[in-house]
């Protein structure tokens, strides 16, 4: 991925455990200093009651599976500020105001940095030139905006009005897709892409997340699907000074 290689290169020997917390699954792998995977991606289902304590136990299990690492990057599905999770609409209310970075450091004994999961996925996909928007289609609807490779933090398109008083997440989240069916969901997504293009005037739009594989219509030339593993590959960028 271009961003991982050209913007986030680090000491060759350093090993970063990257964790992607999702509404349905928690994934992890280890990257080398250039952002190349050193382990195979592992995944454990998100606990049915995804409290901080339950999710931390899963992360500890994933960390043990991935062997040696020197530091940790975490992508979290909500607003994150200074390592503290401020929102978590698809997890549990106990995440509100939870110091994830500090708690995970104490559990793993390694330095930890935390960012919004769409932000991390964006770092694994963008070119670093112009205005680039990332949206993730999974349990919810994630978003991240970059200008010449620099992140515009805490962009939460998901909860803005989109259609008939409903938000982007109301209409394009996984529950909405299951209820409406893939055909109608694709029509909604096509409308959303046109709306976002008019709103952000982006140079490129990247679509990721578990439901990106369900997109069936022809995308505009400046829009492309990115692999789900980008949500892990971008984790090294959190350590860029």
Give residue 7's pLDDT: 42
Element (H, E) at 209: none
Instruction: Express each pLDDT in 81-137 by its tens digit.
Output: 999 999 998 899 999 999 999 999 999 999 999 999 999 999 999 999 999 999 999
How far apart are alpha carbons 98 and 92 in whole angstroms? 11
Q: How many DSSP H helices and E strands does the chain contain?
A: 8, 15
> What band does 231 get if pLDDT is binned at 50, 70 and 90?
confident
> What band does 11 get if pLDDT is binned at 50, 70 and 90?
low
Q: What is the mean pLDDT of the segment spanning 200-205?
A: 98
- Write out the two tokens for 135: 């949206």
17 phi and psi angles, rounded to 5 deg? -80, 125
Q: What is the mean pLDDT of the segment spanning 203-231?
A: 94
How far apart are alpha carbons 5 and 149 in whole angstroms? 13
Give residue 230's pLDDT: 83
Give residue 241's pLDDT: 65
């Amino acid at each position: 991925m271009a961003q991982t290689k050209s913007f986030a290169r680090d000491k060759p020997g350093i090993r970063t455990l990257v964790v992607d917390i999702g509404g349905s699954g928690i994934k992890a792998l280890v990257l080398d200093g250039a952002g190349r995977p050193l382990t195979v991606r592992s995944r454990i289902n998100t606990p049915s009651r995804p409290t901080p304590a339950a999710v931390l136990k899963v992360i500890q299990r994933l960390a043990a599976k991935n062997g040696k690492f020197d530091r940790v990057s975490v992508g979290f599905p909500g607003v994150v500020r200074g390592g503290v999770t401020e929102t978590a609409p698809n997890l549990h209310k106990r995440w509100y105001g939870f110091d994830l970075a500090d708690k995970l450091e104490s559990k793993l004994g390694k330095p930890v940095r935390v960012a919004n999961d769409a932000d991390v996925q964006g770092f694994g996909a963008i070119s670093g030139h112009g205005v680039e928007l990332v949206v993730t289609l999974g349990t919810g609807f994630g978003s991240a905006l970059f200008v010449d490779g620099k992140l515009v933090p805490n962009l939460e398109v998901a909860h803005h009005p989109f259609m008939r008083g409903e938000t982007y997440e109301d209409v394009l989240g996984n529950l909405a897709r299951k209820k409406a069916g893939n055909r109608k969901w694709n029509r909604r997504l096509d409308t959303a892409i046109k709306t976002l293009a008019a709103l952000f005037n982006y140079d490129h739009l990247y679509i990721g997340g578990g439901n990106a594989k369900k997109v069936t219509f022809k995308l505009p030339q400046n829009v492309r699907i990115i692999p789900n593993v980008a949500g892990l590959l971008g984790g090294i960028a959190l350590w860029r000074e």
